[in-house]
Every structure is written in C-alpha cells, then in structure tokens.
C-alpha cells in the first residue's frame, strides 16, 4: 500500500516520518524526488516552483509511506492530512527563517483548508484521515497514522474549523 502524508508546511510531516522510520516503516521524503521537475527558483518566496503535474505523472508507485506537501497529488491508497491551528503553525514556522510573507501564506492556506479541499477533490471519503497535531505529540500522531494505515481506525476528516483564525493571518 502507498500511504501519503500531506499537510501545510509546519504541520509535522517530517517529525512523524522520522518516528515512523524509527519504528521500521519505510518513508519516502517527496522533497528528494522533485529535483528534475523544478521549473525555477522563486527568490521572493525562497521556494522552488515545481511542475507538480509532470512530477506526479512520472512518480512510480511506492510501497510504504510517502511524505510531503504534494503527497495528495499522487494516487495513494490512503492519504493522511496533518493539520495545525494557524496561530500555532506561525510559531512552528518562525524558526525556519521564512519571510513574514511566506509564513502568512502558509498560515492562511491552513486557515482556509486548502490542502483538505485539494485532497477531497481527488480521493474517496474512505481514503482520507485528518489529524490535528496542534496539541498532540508526534508519538500520538504516529499511533493514529498507523492505526488508520492498518484499517483499525475508520476514515475521518472535516471536523476542524480554523475559520476564526482567518482574520488573524490575512
Ligand atoms: N505533533 C507535534 N507537536 C508539536 N510540535 C510539532 C509536532 N510535529 C512537529 N512539530 C514541530 O513543528 C515544526 C515543524 O515540524 P515538521 O515535522 O518539520 O513539519 P513539516 O514537515 O510538515 O513541514 C518542528 O519544529 C517540529 O518539531
Ligand atoms: Mg517536512
């Protein structure tokens, strides 16, 4: 099975991936696969602009977990979306050296459910599992991921509402 772990930057994908690996589960960091599909480097945002459609088209089916902000563009069997309350997300992104503009963009995307909406667009409800990492440590997040992966926890998403934080971040 290919299980995607997606989420806005700062939601805890890499932290969860490290723990999964420690427990012996294969995890592919999708950042390491986009190199050939980088169209340009955007100096203003400090991010690479990736041809996501071409990357997803060329991506070989991979057994295990695949982790990254683009995971929901892949034909995963199941997809986990990590979430984080936008004000806490800002605090998590602050030490990364991102510009204020980039932090604002990410907090705004999280408040507006951008990744959830994109995911719901291309997956069936039974494939989607959303986890709020705001006040849940990575060990518990990983337990939830494994439980969903094994089919022990049913799909679940759509219960979070960050709309009251939109005015904070826009
Ligand atoms: N469940 C969590 N609870 C509290 N802090 C977390 C949690 N997961 C990640 N973090 C912290 O948030 C920051 C971003 O986490 P990271 O795993 O790099 O996010 P991502 O890979 O989604 O961008 C890091 O400082 C990390 O230690
Ligand atoms: Mg990461």
Q: What is the pLDDT of residues 143-166, one digit of tens each?
A: 999 999 999 999 999 999 999 888
CA within 13 Å, CB half, 65: 26
Domain containing residue 139: 2-169
Q: Is 5 exposed, middle or buried (0-12, 13-18, 19+ CB in 10 A)?
A: buried
Structural domains of the chain, count: 1
Q: Is 10 annotated as a binding residue?
A: yes
Q: Is 6 annotated as belonging to a binding site?
A: no
Q: Which of 3-7, 57-61, 64-68, 97-101 has the lowest mean pLDDT?
A: 97-101
Q: How confident is the model at residue 168 (pLDDT cuts 50, 70, 90)?
A: low
Supply the residue whose CA is at minimum distance from atom 7 of ligand 1. Answer: 12
CA 64 to chain centre: 16
pLDDT tens column, 111-141: 999 999 999 999 999 999 999 999 999 999 9
136 Cβ closer than 6 Å to some ligand 1 atom: yes
Residue nearest ligand 1's atom 15 by CA? 12
Overall average pLDDT of the 83-95 stretch: 96
Helix or strand run (H / E) with residue 121: helix 114-122
- Residue of the CA atom closest to atom 24 of ligand 1: 92
Q: Is 96 annotated as a binding residue?
A: yes
Average pLDDT, stretch 42-61? 91
Ligand 1 closest atom vs CA 16? 17
On average, the pLDDT of the chain sits at 95
Q: What is the CA radius of gyration of the chain?
A: 15
CATH number, residue 121: 3.40.50.300
**Phi and psi dihedrals of 100, rounded to 5?**
-60, -40
Question: What distance in angstroms lies between residue 68's CA and the mean position of ligand 2's atoms?
Answer: 6
**Is residue 43 predicted with pLDDT exceeding 90?**
no
End-to-end, the C-alpha distance of the chain in Å comes to 39
Is 12 labelled as part of a ligand binding site? yes
Closest ligand, as measured to the CA of 6: 1
What's the pLDDT tens digit per position in 9-22? 999 999 999 999 99
| Any ligand 1 atom below 6 A from CB of 68 | no
């Amino acid at each position: 099975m290919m299980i995607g772990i997606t989420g806005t930057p700062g939601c805890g994908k890499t932290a969860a991936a490290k723990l999964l690996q420690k427990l012996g589960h294969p995890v592919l960091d999708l950042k390491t696969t986009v190199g050939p599909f980088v169209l340009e480097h955007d100096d203003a945002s400090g991010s690479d602009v990736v041809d996501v459609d071409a990357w997803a088209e060329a991506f070989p089916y991979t057994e295990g977990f695949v982790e990254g902000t683009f995971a929901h563009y892949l034909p995963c069997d199941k997809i986990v979306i990590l979430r984080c309350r936008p004000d806490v997300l800002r605090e998590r992104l602050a030490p990364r050296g991102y510009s204020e503009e980039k932090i604002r963009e990410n907090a705004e995307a999280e408040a507006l459910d951008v990744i959830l909406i994109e995911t719901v667009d291309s997956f069936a409800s039974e494939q989607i599992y959303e986890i709020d990492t705001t006040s849940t440590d990575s060990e518990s997040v990983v337990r939830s991921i494994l439980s969903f992966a094994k089919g022990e926890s049913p799909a679940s998403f759509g219960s979070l509402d960050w709309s009251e934080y939109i005015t904070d971040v826009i």
